[in-house]
């Protein structure tokens, strides 16, 4: 399983990518989508919503279960990926291209709490 080296990871299996505008894109890892199975529905946060690191902010439903998605960092939701509400299965085929939402970080220092690819790989037994 490929674990991109340029991303940061939460122990709850979200990935975090830095964008050119200073925001951060958030999605779920290949490991997470593989464990969930075929994803059939996603509930995204609202634009402008304030989220705290490690708090629930979205829900993914698969044929196996529903799973909470946690914000890996605190901040304001500044974009959501509407394409996923129409085609949630994109998460299964493209987990690292299918971002859920973008956050404008209110506490960028929280990024230091996230795992690099090596530590995340070790945490999932890869």
Phi, psi for 75 (deg, rounded to 5): 160, -160
Q: Is 78 left (phi over 0), alpha (psi -120 to 50) or beta?
A: alpha
19 DSSP 8-state letter: -
Domain chopping of the chain, boundaries: 8-121
Grade residue 67 by pLDDT with cuts at 50, 70 and 90: very high
Check whether 17 has a pLDDT greater than 80. Answer: yes
Measured over the CA atoms of residue 99, residue 19, residue 72 and residue 8, the dihedral's sign is: positive
Q: How many CB atoms lie within 10 A of CB 48?
A: 8
CATH number for the 8-121 domain, one of 1.25.40.80, 1.10.3720.10, 2.40.50.100, 2.40.50.140?
A: 2.40.50.100
The mean per-residue pLDDT over the stretch 60-68 comes to: 93
């Amino acid at each position: 399983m490929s674990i991109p080296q340029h991303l940061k990871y939460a122990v709850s299996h979200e990935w975090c990518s830095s964008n050119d505008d200073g925001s951060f894109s958030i999605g779920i890892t290949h490991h997470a989508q593989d464990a969930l199975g075929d994803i059939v529905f996603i509930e995204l946060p609202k634009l402008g919503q304030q989220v705290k690191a490690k708090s629930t902010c979205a829900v993914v439903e698969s044929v196996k279960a529903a799973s909470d998605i946690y914000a890996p960092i605190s901040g304001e939701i500044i974009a959501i990926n509407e394409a996923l509400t129409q085609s949630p299965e994109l998460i299964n085929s493209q987990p690292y291209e299918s971002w859920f939402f973008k956050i404008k970080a209110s506490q960028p220092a929280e990024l230091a709490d996230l795992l690099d690819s090596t530590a995340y790989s070790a945490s999932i037994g890869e």
